[in-house]
A and B are shown apart, each in its own frame.
Chain A
Amino acid sequence: MDKLKENQAAYYPGCALLTIDRAYNNSSKLVSKKMGIELVEIPDYNCCGIGEMKSKGAASMYLPLRNMMIAKNRLGSKNLVMACSVCYHEFSRSINRVKENQNELTAVNEIFKEAGEFKEEYIPDGEARHILEFLYNEKGVEEVKKNVVKPLKGLKVAPYYGCLYSRPSMYTFTDKKPKMDNSERPRFMHEFLEALGAETVFYGNEVQCCGGRNVVQDEETSFTLCSQTISKAKKAGADVIALICPKCAGALDVNQPKIVEKFGKDSELPIVYLTQLMALAFGFSKKEAEFSDMISEPLKVLNEKGF
């Protein structure tokens, strides 16, 4: 595989985006390209560990770091862009932990050595970047505005950041590095949405947790948290909730019919990905933005509003 050109970035798709969440994957690629950066998937990627391996020491760090090695070796890129907040968390966590702790770095490199896939040792010199932060800092709000051909006038959006995009700052460096978003009150998605011509609503649950990790083994907790978020956004007048993480989608979108069954119609509100709305405003069709993939049926409200 060839090394990247200047207007290309190494991209980690992760497991969800190539399957169930293809709408997020494809719309991320569409809007990035429109803004002047082509996302190039790293070949042969493996699962980031999705938070389930944390207690397994170096094994949990090897998983994301193997992908960093691929990006460097095959595409010549130290950095890796990703759209899933859970992947982003696992990558940032691993890079920072081995940076801080020589023993952990040694343990990870022993696994690398034994696997024998790469000639060099892993050196923590690259970064994982969440697509929202990446587009915001590399291209900026002006570039978004420039590309809007169909402003989302009259659409009220509740931006939902969830947890791992901005927390904890010991891994994400939000609040700590210049140019990073704020951990308690992130703004990047707000600014993007407003640049699209949409109206953002304040509803208080922007950085609340969806309980996504517990979706399978502890529905009780997850559903309660989701219902709180959806009903608050609805009460604040939102037409849709915009997401930046497929795990949040699993909790808020895929499970929404069950949540409504349990908590009633107050917990019913269409869910979309931020990049789908961006694609729509950039002139791509609703079909290209794959709104029909969402279980919560955002197409109804989008049609009603005349988009």
Chain B
Amino acid sequence: MAIEKHDKENSGGGRPVAEKGEHIVARHLIEDDNIKEEKNLVIDGVDVSGRWNTFIISRVDSDFDRSFFEEIKKTVVGSRINRCWQCGMCTASCTVTPLYRRFNPRAFIYMMQLGNLRELKKYIDVAWRCVGCYKCSQRCPKQVNPAEMMEALALVMKKYFSEEVKTKLKLDEEVKTIYEDMIIGHGRLDLAKLHTSAMQKSGRTKEMLGKIERGAIFEMVKDGRAFSVLRLGKPHNWSSSKEAIENYLHKLKTIENSEAGV
């Protein structure tokens, strides 16, 4: 489809200039580049200017990959992807979508179904914001369990865009590692340590010396809670569980890598 800007006389009648695509319903779902808006627009040789001067270029997925579908289905968190019929209930109930309009579980699942990595990549900056509230899973008529599909999304991101993840998802990843090391390594969480390590990782050590942070820490030291973690220790015999879990995770990784041809 050929789209040209038709340069008739420029009326310039002092009418207020609208934002690009402003009057499109669900504008946030359409990328800037996909909106053509000209004062005088000619499409395929036909002058369509006037009321019809906005044109949304349809998204054509030519490079999708259905094997992707199988790959995600194999993960425990993404195993129900084949059930999704794209009704949009998950996005309509999502806690995070009203805060960040580009966070769209239905759309993420669609892109994953198609294996459209090119599109998915554009959302690395918001994809990690899911709060795991399971509203979507509660309301999904097909029991896709989109909340866990968002975990599958994180797996995809880590596997295919590891470079971008390192920069854009840096903190999320680092905090996850702290959690994982504690959970597997010690069998229990030391919440105080978790907090301080995370603050350090994000370069916010100064904040911990601030009045608010110090107040809470002082309270907990005073009443003994801050030290209660010390007497908790590890579960007895944890080392055998730890080893078994690590072996399992190692096997999981080897299978994943061989499938991805790494």
Give A contacts to B, CB under 8 Å: 15-16, 18-20, 22, 44-47, 49-60, 62-63, 66, 97, 104, 107, 110-112, 114-117, 163-164, 167-170, 183-184, 208-209, 211-214, 216-218, 221-222, 224-225, 254, 257-258, 261, 292-293, 295
Contact = CB atoms under 8 A, between A and B. Distances in A.
Nearest to B213: A258
A54 B194 contact: no
B76 to A, nearest CB: 5
Contacts of B236: 44
Interface string B141-180: 0010101100110110000000000000001100110011
B225 A164 contact: no
19 contacts: A16-B191, A19-B229, A20-B225, A55-B151, A55-B152, A55-B154, A57-B252, A62-B248, A111-B248, A114-B247, A163-B135, A209-B131, A211-B95, A214-B131, A217-B172, A218-B128, A225-B99, A257-B212, A295-B215
Give me the 7 closest cross-chain CB pairs, A-B, nearest first.
A209-B133, A168-B137, A114-B244, A115-B244, A15-B189, A52-B179, A46-B187
Contact of A216 (B95, B133, B175, B188): B175
Contact of A167 (B76, B100, B134, B243): B134
Contacts of B225: 19-20, 22, 293
B132 interface: yes
Per DSSP, chain B at the interface is: helix
A57 B148 CA distance: 12
Given A19-B228, A50-B189, A168-B134, A59 B248 contact: yes
Given A44-B237, A168-B147, A217-B172, A55 B77 contact: yes
Contacts of B187: 46-47
Contacts of A58: 76, 248
Given A53-B180, A54-B77, A56-B249, 9 more contacts: A44-B237, A47-B182, A50-B189, A115-B245, A212-B131, A214-B131, A216-B195, A217-B198, A218-B172
A126 to B, nearest CB: 19
Contact of B235 (A46, A49, A214): A46
A111 B131 CA distance: 29
A47 B191 contact: no
Interface of B: 75-77, 95-96, 99-100, 128-129, 131-135, 137-138, 143, 145, 147-148, 151-152, 154-155, 171-172, 175-176, 179-180, 182-184, 187-192, 194-195, 198, 202, 212, 215-216, 219-220, 223, 225, 228-229, 232, 235-238, 240-241, 243-245, 247-249, 252
A46 B189 CA distance: 9
